[in-house]
Structure 1
Amino acid sequence: MVPSLDTVGTRGTFKAVQSMEIGAHFRYYFQHPWSRLVVAYLVTFFNFLIFAEDPVSHSQTEAHMIVVGNCFSFVVNKYPGGGWNVLKVLLWLLAIVTGLFAGKFVFHRRLFGRFLRLKMFREDHGSWMTMFFSTILFLFIFSHIYNLFLLMTGGMGPHLVTEYMGIRNESFMKIAAVGTWMGDFVTAWMVTDMMLQDQHYPDWGKAARRFWKRGNNRIVLFWTVLISLTSVVVLVISTDWISWDNLNRGFLPSDEVSRAFLASFILVFDLLIVMQASGSTTASSSWFLFWT
């Protein structure tokens, strides 16, 4: 028996409604405050775990990294002295200014905004990230221009800017760990701030949200926790006050495969943070209210 058009239409409508309900339920739990907080803080924990377990963190060999190493040695060390120092400082200052303007007006506004029409770069969204990577690009380019001047002079081989950074891998990993902490914890703390202001889950954390939004509690707590915890983390990392090997004692061993999976988890969780924030009305207004 062939079903009537009304029956087919009813079944199609029922399936569409059912799929919409499933999608709504999934989004409800996917963007739930507890889900977002767990993902955000797990990224911080996993990054410190991979830092503690990575043998490079204890390596005494010279650190070298493509592009980033050039930028670091261009700005921080390998100064020949005399007029070369002035030329080098002028070049990396010019590279930074050029990178900032090119990132804002060329890459972000024209390339990503007008030409490619990417929604994630609409208005001023993503401008700081674009400017940051553009600055790294121009520092790398200007470092080679500086190397060209050195090669034209001759006898300046030791002062050439290369991917070798002039510091040990151990020191570089400590710098990277502090930078990772700032990025990860500020992100997690921002997610916490957004969730404590969120109105889509009225039954979640009523007392905590009420306290968070009372007076200047939000601003005072944010800066107090950020500064105090950052000071402790920098002190612990820089002084090796806590030794992971002494604490671990083989309880949580790792090898190259497990660390590769751990790095993959960090990447996936970073993407989850972005996916969970999409469509949230509080995400765009939270930091505007905070800074104003």
Structure 2
Amino acid sequence: MAKDFRYYFQHPWSRIVIAYLVTFFNFLIFAEDPVSHSQTEANVIVVGNCFSFIMTKYPGGAWNFLKVLLWLIAIIVGLIAGKFLFHQRLFGHLLRLKVFREDHGSWMTMFFSTILFLFIFSHIYNIFLLIAGNMSPYIITEYMGIRNESFMKVAAVGTWMGDFVTAWMVTDMMLQDNQYPDWGKSARAFWRRGNIRIILFWTVLFSLTSVVVLVITTDWISWDKLNRGFLPSDEVSRAFLASFILVFDLLIVMQNQSLKVLNMAGR
């Protein structure tokens, strides 16, 4: 392969460094964001409605049955509509988007479709509450019924699962790839030996995830005590940091697609 821009763009070191930087930057913005320490009630547009619809604000009695029934119907309708209406009919047949060909992107479409229908059915549930009267404390809004601190901890755990699994899968792909035969010869030979790859992948994933969840939920490590003003941030720097995370996420997708094209051309 000629050592042009594409050579360095999809080089294993480039892909691995970018993938792990996303994980690091996400934890940095979690540690520096004042919302992570806020004791006020969390409110997130749409997502807050879905969360409180399923998890909080249960009036009791027959209202609980109605609420559970409605969000179960919303999930089922969302999954079916996401698969057959949005993915197959809209994106596949009508718009003919190649990224959604066959079953590609179906899980993502079904996930967002489920959120949409949970949001819609939460308002249908609100209509029943308004008709009944005197049920204003149980009206579903973007307020989630939990503190911002708790919400950010849940978000940090979810971010870790998404980012580290992505980075760890990129590492696994690079150690199995043959496009750069001179890169990491000993590491690739060790990774491919027997079942070492499978054992190490799941052992590292579960062990590190357990440690991270423990640290986040128990506040065992205090970033403010470790930082001591060495790396201060404000709204502008955190906005740029969030932009870097978005750009790096897009770079991971671009690197993956570029490598797929290269592999198909090599075949």
The question of a shared fold, defined as TM-score above 0.5 by the shorter chain, is answered with: yes
Question: 2:209 is aligned with what amino acid?
Answer: T
Distance between the aligned counterparts of 1:151 and 1:283, measured in 2? 58
Structure 1 runs (4+) greater than 2 angstroms displaced: 279-285
Query: Equivalent of 1:251, from 214, 226, 230?
Result: 230
Query: Equivalent of 1:277, from 249, 256, 261?
Result: 256
Distance between the aligned counterparts of 2:8 and 2:94, measured in 1? 36
Q: Note the alpha carbon deviations across 1:100-149, whole angstroms, 9 max, x for none.
A: 11111111111111111111111111111111111110100010011111
- Determine helix, strand or coil for the equivalent of 1:172: helix
The sequence identity of aligned pairs, in percent, is 81
Offset, 1:280: 2.3
Distance between the aligned counterparts of 2:248 and 2:204, measured in 1? 23
Query: Equivalent of 1:40, from 16, 19, 32?
Result: 19
- Determine helix, strand or coil for the equivalent of 2:6: helix
Distance between the aligned counterparts of 1:282 and 1:198, measured in 2? 14
Q: Number of aligned pairs?
A: 264
Distance between the aligned counterparts of 1:283 and 1:192, measured in 2? 18
Q: Which has the bigger relative contact order, CA under 8 A and spacing at least 6?
A: 2
Distance 1:44-1:284 versus aligned 2 partners, 3 A rule = farther
Is 1:120 the counterpart of 2:99? The answer is yes
Offset, 1:281: 3.5
Describe how 1:49-68 pairs up with structure 2 within 5 A: 49-68=28-47
User: Larger C-alpha radius of gyration, 1 or 2?
Assistant: 1
Contact 2:10 2:258 in 1 (8 A): no
Structure 2 partner of 1:100 = 79
Structure 1 partner of 2:246 = 267
Offset, 1:284: 10
Contact 1:194 1:282 in 2 (8 A): no
Question: 2:137 is aligned with what amino acid?
Answer: P
Aligned-residue Cα RMSD (Å) equals 1.7
Question: 2:232 is aligned with what amino acid?
Answer: P
Structure 1 partner of 2:180 = 201
Question: 1:186 is aligned with what amino acid?
Answer: V
- Determine helix, strand or coil for the equivalent of 1:279: helix
Distance between the aligned counterparts of 1:36 and 1:252, measured in 2? 26
Contact 1:236 1:242 in 2 (8 A): yes
TM-score under structure 2 normalisation? 0.96
Distance 1:116-1:282 versus aligned 2 partners, 3 A rule = closer
Distance between the aligned counterparts of 1:107 and 1:60, measured in 2? 39
Offset, 1:168: 0.5
Distance between the aligned counterparts of 1:44 and 1:80, measured in 2? 40
Distance between the aligned counterparts of 2:196 and 2:90, measured in 1? 41
- Determine helix, strand or coil for the equivalent of 1:265: helix
Structure 2 partner of 1:212 = 191
TM-score under structure 1 normalisation? 0.88
Offset, 1:283: 11
- Determine helix, strand or coil for the equivalent of 1:187: helix
Q: Structure 1 regions of 5+ residues with no counterpart?
A: 1-20, 286-292
Q: Structure 2 regions of 5+ residues with no counterpart?
A: none
Q: Note the alpha carbon deviations across 1:243-289, whole angstroms, 9 max, x for none.
A: 0000000000001110010000000000000000113239999xxxx
Distance 1:59-1:154 versus aligned 2 partners, 3 A rule = same
Distance between the aligned counterparts of 1:206 and 1:42, measured in 2? 24
Contact 1:198 1:282 in 2 (8 A): no
Structure 2 partner of 1:226 = 205
Structure 1 partner of 2:88 = 109
